[in-house]
Every structure is written in C-alpha cells, then in structure tokens.
C-alpha cells in the first residue's frame, strides 16, 4: 500500500543550531527543487516572532549558497511559528490551531531526548499526534537501556512505522553508492565472502578536534558519536545479504539479521585514545577518560563472514579528514612467476567522504623482458554538484512515508548490544599526538600480520 504524504511539517527546536545549519537549507531546497507546498510550523520556547523566524531562515538559506529570492519567498509564505513551553498544554493547543486543516502532520523533534516525553505526550493529548509521523535525531540513547527507554516513550503514542530515526550518514550519496555497487554488479557476489575476502577495514578520520564542543563530547566520545551508529551502519551495508524484493521491509530485515549476527565486542579487542590537548578544551574534565579515538575488531557470525575480521577506526586530530573502506582480498595461493614472491593481494577501496571514489587494486606487468609487476588502481570517481544533501533527501523521504533510509527500533537495540560491553568496561585511554594516526597500540588488534591502511589525499581528476 502506498504511503500518504504528510500534509504539514512541524519542527521543534526551530531556533536551534541544527535548524539553522541543516533543516532550513533542506526545506529551502525542497521548495526550490521539488515544489514542497505544505505548512511548515516552527516550534520553540525562545520568545521569538514569525518575522524573526523568517529572518533566521533567510540567513540560513543564504549561507547555504545558490540563493534564489523567489524560492525563498515561497518558503517564507509557508512558515508559521508557535512559541511556548513544551510542558504547557496551551502550547500544543496553539499548535493544533496552527495545523488548521492538516490531518497527517509530521513532527521533527530537533530537541534533546530529555524533552521527548513531554512533547510526545503533549502531541497526543492535543490530538496533534493523530495519523501523524515523528522524526527523531540521534543519539538514540546512550546505551542499550536508555535506547529501550526512549523507544518506550515514542511507542506510547506512535506506531513503529510512523517513527523516522535520522542518521544523516545513511542519506549520503556515497553510502547509497556503496549499496548500489554491491547489488548492481554481478561480478562481486561470487567473491564477497570468507573464501576470498581476508579482512575489511573502515577508517573515519577527522583532522580537527572537538571545535569548542568539549562539554558535548564529554557526554558521547568517539564510540557513541560515530561507531555505534554511522560505522556499524556502513558495515551492515557491506555485509548484509541481498534483500528479497524491492520493499523497504525486505531491506530492513536483512540489515537487522546482520546486526544480530554481530558478536558483542570484546573489550580486549578495543583501543581507546585521546589526543594530547583534549583536556585543555573548555568543558572537558581535567582527568577526562573520554576517547577521541577508537579502534576495534568486530566479528560477524554468519556462514558468509565467519573468521573474517572487520576493523573499525575513528578519531579526531588525525592527519586528514576522510572516511574510507578497504576490502582486502586473499593473496593468490602460489607465486606463478619465477623469481617473485607471492604478490600483494587485490582489494576494493571505497572513499565515502569528502570525495566519492570507488577503486579496484590490481597488479599489471612492468614494461620489459622480466615478469615483474606494479600495483595500480582502477578508479571511478563520482561528483555531481546538484546531488541532494543528506538532510534534504531524508526529510523528503520522511514526508513521503519512505522508511528505507531510516533506522528501526530493533536495529538500534541490536547495534547497542554490540557496543555495550566496551562501554561498561573501564578501558583506559592512551594519549596520542595530534596529526598522528592515533595510539601506536591500535596495531595490536590486527591479526595475521595485517596493518592499517591509512587514507591519503585523493589526487584531482586529470
């Protein structure tokens, strides 16, 4: 059955940083490119007026670039504003009036999870939750227990198919490209298993620190910030089996099966690091043990992936900013050419950001009489300046009722079960120098003589 489109968009936290940086630019582009034409109601408790909200929206759209006055005028005409305390029934009564004839609104909770309960209950008691959908931002809890409590709060009012949990990483073009490359090319399936793949590495590197958000980072750390959500989602796309059919439920079912097959991470297979100088950041404890770097080994207990190690590494103040996947194939069993050792293995390399690049690593023969080779990469680059940013894609999908790029409650809980053991274990952090690849001890989790592949700066296309 085709899902009906939402007929009003309500976003709580309309005066916040997320709204300014992501939501307003997405809504502006949806009006400009897709003809979005439903009421857009900003909710806040900041004492603002509609004129001030419109001014903030204009500033946001202009900073996003490619500003078109006519398109913004259309967005401005759709905007409404409701100011009030999220715990006060009068606030939700005003929202119900602002919704007018809308009967299937979608509510975006761009607010701290601690406010979810009062907002969800306010929506329910005022009738604003009738036939409605709700969008929530990560983090989806701090551990398994808080994630389950958060789900109970949402499920008191909204059925699971009406809940859209945003992980903006799933809206990235590069991540979509990864999924497409896997299942649109028949040559991959015969080798995409333990018989041919030696290991898989994922590195998410950032060449900057916490950027003045020390107090926030003290609450999350690298594991909660990017490993439990972004990087486990990437592994799910790399390792899941092909879905049966085109339905969203089939894709979600395969991802859930894969999450449930991930073995809870052994704290002995985890290295936590902290860059030198982190404790000098405002809002950071003088003896903080929060990790700004994490490296770990993950196991997936299926017939396809048994005994194939998945290595994950994420950190701040590393040499470059890039997210990259390396799929290393096993080496040939014998050296065919006289006088040579067994050659290096082939590999696939997926650069997910900041560029979108797919490479196959191979060996070719040197010119000359001898049978000697050199490594080369067969490279496909993808760049479309007109592609949709993640928030634009995800908000559009949510309004249209498409849940394929959103995370299910069971998948969220399964992912927390994977990382919970290392969150509960008091692993010490090892200090590392900014600009390095993290603690040298991160090499200790590699097995079979493997080493980390360090992403490099991509050369420009010729």
The active-site residue out of 107, 230, 299, 382 is: 230
Instruction: Give the residues across from 262 on adjacent strands.
Output: 300
Q: Is 358 helix (H, G, I), strand (E, B) or coil?
A: strand
Please report which residue ranges of 79-230 form alpha helices under DSSP H: 89-99, 116-126, 144-155, 173-184, 214-222
- Alpha-carbon gap, residue 104 to 397, rounded angstroms: 15
Query: Using an 8 Å Cβ cutoff, are 238 and 178 in contact?
Result: yes
Determine whether 11 is exposed, middle or buried from the number of CB atoms within 10 Å of its CB (0-12, 13-18, 19+). buried
> Does the annotation count 230 as an active-site position?
yes
Peptide bond into 305 cis (omega under 30): no
Q: Do strands 270-275 and 293-298 pair parallel, antiparallel, or not at all (unpaired)?
A: antiparallel
Contacts of 104 (CB under 8 A, 6+ apart): 4, 5, 6, 7, 8, 131, 132, 133
Residue 368 main-chain phi, psi, to 5 deg: 125, -175
Rounded alpha-carbon distances, angstroms, from residue 434 to 32, 272, 443: 42, 15, 18
- Alpha-carbon gap, residue 387 to 384, rounded angstroms: 6
Q: Which two tokens stand for residue 339?
A: 């006088």
Q: What's the DSSP call for residue 31?
A: H
- Alpha-carbon gap, residue 73 to 334, rounded angstroms: 68
Rounded alpha-carbon distances, angstroms, from residue 131 to 3, 103, 105, 268, 432: 12, 7, 7, 48, 52
**Catalytic center residues:** 230
């Amino acid at each position: 059955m085709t899902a009906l489109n939402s007929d009003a968009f309500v976003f709580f936290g309309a005066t916040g940083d997320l709204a300014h940086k992501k939501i307003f630019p997405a809504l502006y582009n949806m009006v400009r490119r897709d003809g979005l034409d439903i009421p857009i109601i900003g909710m806040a408790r900041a004492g603002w007026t509609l004129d001030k909200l419109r001014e903030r929206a204009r500033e946001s759209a202009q900073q996003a670039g490619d500003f078109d006055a006519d398109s913004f005028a259309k967005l401005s005409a759709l905007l409404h504003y409701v100011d009030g305390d999220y715990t006060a029934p009068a606030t939700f009564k005003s929202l119900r009036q602002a919704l007018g004839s809308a009967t299937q609104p979608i509510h975006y909770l761009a607010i701290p999870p601690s406010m979810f309960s009062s907002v969800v209950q306010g929506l329910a008691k005022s009738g604003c939750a009738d036939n409605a959908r709700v969008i929530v931002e990560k983090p989806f809890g701090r551990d398994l227990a808080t994630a389950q409590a958060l789900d109970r709060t949402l499920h008191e009012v909204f059925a699971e198919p009406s809940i859209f949990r945003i992980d903006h990483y799933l809206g990235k073009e590069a991540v979509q490209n990864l999924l497409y490359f896997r299942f649109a090319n028949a040559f991959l399936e015969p080798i995409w298993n333990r018989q041919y793949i030696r290991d898989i590495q994922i590195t998410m590197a950032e060449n900057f620190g916490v950027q003045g958000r020390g107090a926030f980072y003290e609450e999350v750390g690298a594991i909660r910030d990017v490993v439990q959500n972004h990087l486990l989602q990437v592994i799910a796309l790399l390792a899941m089996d092909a879905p049966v059919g085109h339905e969203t439920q089939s894709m979600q079912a395969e991802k859930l099966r894969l999450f449930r097959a991930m073995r809870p991470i052994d704290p002995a297979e985890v290295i936590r690091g902290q860059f030198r100088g982190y404790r000098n950041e405002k809002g950071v404890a003088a003896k903080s043990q929060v990790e700004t770097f994490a490296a770990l080994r993950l196991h997936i207990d299926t017939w396809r992936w048994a005994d194939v190690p998945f290595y994950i590494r994420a950190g701040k103040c590393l040499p470059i900013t890039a997210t990259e996947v390396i799929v290393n194939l096993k080496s040939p069993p014998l050296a065919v050419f006289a006088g040579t050792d067994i050659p290096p293995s082939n590999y696939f390399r997926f650069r997910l950001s900041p560029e979108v690049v797919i490479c196959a690593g191979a060996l070719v023969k040197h010119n000359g009489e001898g049978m000697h080779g050199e490594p080369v990469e067969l490279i496909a680059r993808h760049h479309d300046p007109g592609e949709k940013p993640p928030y634009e894609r995800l908000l559009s999908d949510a309004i249209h009722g498409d849940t394929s790029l959103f995370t299910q409650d069971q998948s969220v809980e399964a992912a927390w079960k994977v990382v919970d053991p290392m969150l509960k274990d008091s692993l010490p952090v090892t200090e590392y120098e900014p600009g390095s690849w993290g603690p040298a001890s991160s090499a200790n989790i590699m097995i079979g003589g493997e080493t980390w592949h360090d992403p490099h700066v991509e050369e420009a296309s010729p």
